[in-house]
Structure 1
Amino acid sequence: MEFTIPESCGNSPRMQIVAEIARAWGEGDQAHLEQWLLPDAEWHVHPTEPEAEFQRLVLDNVVTHGRLGSCDGVAVGADGSAVRFAHFMVFASTAKTAKIRSITTYVVSAGKDFDGAGND
């Protein structure tokens, strides 16, 4: 899967972790997700988890502060259909190695023919 992140993600270890969680979600990489989620972590997806596998994931923004992290972007399937998404994460503590206590994800259809320039 092609994965694009904002240049600012290299400035903070926590920003990199948030970006990698988004990548793992886009690829369906359960092993990576399980490394970062607490055993009793909750993950709520609204309205529902997308059914398509993604070939491209573009993060527009990654933000962290204390125990909180979030990112948003667009994921594009093999058929060109795209979804806009946002993940909101709560980490167990402010430690760099803290695991994730909860994630809330919002997913909205963005149609087809996403061009990667924010012109979907």
Structure 2
Amino acid sequence: MTDELAITGIECYAYHGVFEFERREGQIFVIDLVLAVDTAPAAASDDLRDTVDYGSLVAKVKASVERDPVDLIETLAQRIADVCLLERRVEWVRVTVHKPDAPIDATFSDVALTIRRQNS
């Protein structure tokens, strides 16, 4: 059985982007996660050790976003997925990286990339 645990709106300030001013000034990135986890063991035991500690996971994801700038949100999304898949209880993860202040010369609400990765 696979359930879905969603954690949305994780705000991070980082220096990713292709342009020099993005690397210099930084901007907000917002991360959404959906994790496939069998929650039945935790429901039965009521023990945090039987599920994903999402507080700890969010701290790891935030740290991974806020380190080592990259050019592309595709690279950043993969990095985040890799962090999530290190959790042994996560079967697959869907990561959305929002870049609401992307350097686009038009009025827009958001730029977002969603990827789905799974443990082999």
User: If the TM-score is normalised by the length of the shorter chain, which range does it land in?
Assistant: 0.3 to 0.5
More helix by share: 2
Superposition TM-score, scaled by structure 2 size: 0.33
More strand by share: 1
